[in-house]
C-alpha cells in the first residue's frame, strides 16, 4: 500500500531582504517620470503548487504601484519633496490556492 500525502496551504508568504527594522526602504528623486522603477519586493512561500505562488499588492495610494507578479515597485504620479519627503506604504504578499494566506509589512 502507498499513501500519498497531499499539500495544503499551511505556510504564509515571507518577505525577503528586509532591513533590520523589518521594512523595505527605497529612494527616488522628486519629479521622476511616471513608471520609474524604484525597487523590487520579494516574498517566498514554502507551499507547493498554486499555494506557493505569491502575488503582491500595495495599499491604496497616489504615488506608487507594484507589479503583482514580479514585485517591482514603480512611480505613478509626480512626487515633490518639498510637499512630502517620506511615504509609507503597506505591502502585502498573498499566496495562491482557494484559501489565501498573506503577510503584510
Note the pLDDT of residue 19: 78
Return the CA Rg of the chain.
17
pLDDT band at 18 (very low <50, low <70, confident <90, very high): confident
What average pLDDT is seen over the chain? Answer: 91
The cell numbers describing 104, all together, are 503584510
6 within a domain of the structure (yes/no):
no
Q: Tell me the CATH number at 74.
A: 2.60.40.60
Domain housing 52: 14-104
7 within a domain of the structure (yes/no):
no
30 within a domain of the structure (yes/no):
yes
Q: How many domains does the chain have?
A: 1
CA 54 – CA 75 distance, rounded (Å) = 22
CB-based burial of residue 51 (10 Å sphere; 0-12 exposed, 13-18 middle, 19+ buried)? Answer: buried
81 within a domain of the structure (yes/no):
yes
72 within a domain of the structure (yes/no):
yes
Note the pLDDT of residue 86: 94
Residue of 93 and 99 predicted with greater confidence: 93
**69-91 pLDDT, tens per residue?**
999 999 999 999 999 999 999 99
50 within a domain of the structure (yes/no):
yes
CA 90 – CA 3 distance, rounded (Å) = 42
Amino acid at each position: 500500500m502507498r499513501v500519498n500525502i497531499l499539500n495544503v496551504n499551511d505556510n504564509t508568504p515571507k518577505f525577503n531582504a528586509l532591513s533590520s527594522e523589518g521594512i523595505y526602504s527605497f529612494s527616488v528623486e522628486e519629479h521622476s517620470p511616471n513608471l520609474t522603477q524604484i525597487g523590487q519586493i520579494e516574498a517566498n512561500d514554502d507551499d507547493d503548487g498554486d499555494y506557493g505562488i505569491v502575488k503582491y499588492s500595495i495599499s491604496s495610494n497616489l504615488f506608487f504601484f507594484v507589479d503583482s507578479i514580479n514585485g517591482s515597485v514603480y512611480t505613478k504620479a509626480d512626487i515633490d519633496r518639498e510637499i512630502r519627503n517620506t511615504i509609507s506604504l503597506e505591502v502585502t504578499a498573498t499566496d495562491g490556492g482557494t484559501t489565501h494566506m498573506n503577510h503584510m509589512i
